[in-house]
Amino acid sequence: MCDTCGCNITHGNAHLVTNDGKLAQTEDGKSAVTVLKNLLSENDHQAAHNREHFDRRNILAINLMSSPGAGKTALLEATIDALGDQIGIAVIEGDLETENDAERIRGKGVSAIQISTGSACHLDAHMVHDALHHMDLDGIDVVFIENVGNLVCPASFDLGQHRNITLLSVTEGDDKPAKYPVMFRAADLVLLTKCDLLDVLDDFEPARAEHYLRHLASEAPLFNIAARRSIDIDEWTDWLINEINAQRDRAERHETLRPNIQPEGAALHTASAHEHEHGQHHHDHGHDHKHS
Amino acid sequence: MTRCWRLNMHELSICQALIEQVESIARENEALAVKTIWVQVGPLSGAEIPLLEHAYPVAAAGSVAEDAELILEHMPVKVRCRSCGGESEAAPNRLVCGQCGDYHTDLISGDEMLLARLELDKLTH
Ligand SMILES: Nc1nc2c(ncn2[C@@H]2O[C@H](COP(=O)(O)OP(=O)(O)OP(=O)(O)O)[C@@H](O)[C@H]2O)c(=O)[nH]1
Ligand SMILES: [Mg+2]
Ligand SMILES: [Zn+2]
Ligand SMILES: [Zn+2]
């Protein structure tokens, strides 16, 4: 993996970065440079390298995001119980202060690396890169990255994953997609968790949660699960197995997949919105989100 | 949306990334100082404009952009409909077509977080 090239131009935004930047010199010594560069391009560059790292080993990488306590670690435990003897699983845990989640995973016989995020509110691609260097990925089919419990920040940072999963526990209210559009727009799959509690809650309507999700122009599937109860999680495990196989096929074809939200999409949009001002941009604005 | 101090770290880290980019561009152009920085931010970028404004001076202190003015351009949320082809403005949490009401839309503006332009102070040759 490239650690040293120091360049922060991604494949996606390279055409926008005016290396030969339009430099309009004025007589008083001031000059203006048009840049149009994503503020997180340094992170995106590292994320692309992380993705190559996974792709070279045919590994599927999944980023799990939710508010604190929605059941990310419980989902991982249930997944290991259901599939641990069929597939190789490894986990990267982002936790503010403790090793608790990593220890829960290790208790199931699966290797887990803890990223101590300290006061950080999200994981970034550099932290994941460091973690990858401490992991033995032989025989691994899927790496789960459990992000910091937070419905705001993690959505903006590409880590090098192929898929984003957002968990919404039914005790949080069914209008969360409307309140946190950035997070829910980023999801390739939404899991409604703790569904065993639906009976005792007055007003959580899974259909309403889906309605709000669709209003974010999202076509992500939405499954009901209850990781802590013996309600079956086949819909989820089938999805996962299917994604692992799809990743293997893609990697063999030397193709890759970015999660639902593509950071350089922003750059394309701006170029389109400002065509009349800058005049010189001609891009294909079609979204290239691959949904297999 | 409630924001605690912890989340401010988010905007601070974004401003630090901004200053790194500004410094490298200033170096490439042999600028003496940076006068103005234009940044485009949409509501779907995940960054909050007031928090960016708050975090910026902290990140800029001691850099070539120490005295620069930061201009944050608010980008509108706009979608293009896959059914009828229409373009319309939308609310961040209702990305449906303003013309036919379909939710099968593509976002064409509103998730930007871009360094758009810099004004630099240079020696005239
Ligand atoms: N009833 C019920 N409780 C659940 C379920 N899944 C998780 N819980 C409980 O919810 C609490 C939080 O679960 P975790 O798996 O630790 O949640 P998390 O998202 O990993 O939490 P953080 O990492 O701290 O953000 C625990 O007490 C779990 O036992 C479920 O399906 N049903
Ligand atoms: Mg956890
Ligand atoms: Zn953050
Ligand atoms: Zn329409």
**What contacts A88, CB < 8 A, 6 or more positions away?**
A139, A140, A141, A142
Q: Is A1 on the interface with B (CB under 8 A)?
A: no
- Walk across the sheet containing B78-81 and list its strands: B87-89, B78-81, B105-109
pLDDT in tens, A107-156: 999 999 999 766 677 889 999 999 999 999 999 999 999 999 999 888 98
Task: Kindly give the distance from the C-alpha atom of residue A217 to the centroid of ligand 2, in angstroms, as a whole number.
Answer: 29
Q: CB-based contact (8 Å) between B46 and chain A?
A: yes
C-beta A149 within 6 A of ligand 1 = yes
End-to-end alpha-carbon separation of chain B, Å? 51
ipTM for this prediction: 0.81
Whether residue B81 sits in one domain with residue B35:
no
- pLDDT of amino acid A36: 85
Task: Tell me: do B64 and B93 sit in the same domain.
Answer: no
Q: Report whether A9 contacts A1 (CB < 8 A).
A: no
Q: Hey, whose CA ends up nearest to atom 32 of ligand 1?
A: A194
Min Cα separation B58/chain A (Å)? 17
Based on the fold, state whether residues B49 and B92 are members of the same structural domain: no
Question: Which CATH number do you get for residue B25?
Answer: 3.30.2320.50
Residue B118 sits in the same domain as residue B103: no
pLDDT tens digits, A200-257:
998 999 999 999 999 999 999 999 999 877 677 899 999 999 999 999 999 999 999 9
Same domain, B71 and B102: no
What is the residue range of B45's domain? Answer: 1-75+112-125
Question: In the prediction, which pLDDT does B124 show?
Answer: 62
Contact A25, A40 (CB under 8 A): no
Q: Could you tell me the distance, in angstroms and rounded to a whole number, from the CA of residue A177 to the centre of ligand 3?
A: 19
- Probe site for chain A from B52, B112, B120, B123 (most A CB atoms < 10 A): B112
Same domain, yes or no, for B46 and B4? yes
Q: Is the domain of B81 the same as that of B70?
A: no
Amino acid at B79: V
DSSP state of B68: P
Asked whether the beta carbons of residue B117 and residue A42 sit closer than 8 angstroms, the reply is no
CA atoms within 13 A on the CB side of B72: 19
H-only helix segments in A62-123: 72-83, 100-106
Q: How far is A80 from chain B (nearest CA, A)?
A: 32
Would the CB of A71 count as within 6 Å of ligand 1?
yes
Residues B6 and B49 occupy one common structural domain: yes
B51 and B92 co-located in one domain: no
Number of structural domains found in chain B: 2
What is the CA(A49)–ligand 3 centre distance, in A? 21
For chain B, 125 residues long, give each residue's pLDDT as a single digit of tens.
444 444 467 788 899 999 999 999 999 999 999 999 999 999 999 888 888 998 999 999 999 999 999 999 999 999 999 999 999 999 999 999 999 999 999 999 999 999 999 999 987 65
| Shared domain check, B32 and B16 | yes
B69 shares a domain with B41: yes
- Residue in chain A closest to B119 (alpha carbons) equals A32
| Residues in B touching A33 (Cβ below 8 Å) | 25, 29, 117-120
Query: Same structural domain for residues B103 and B52?
Result: no
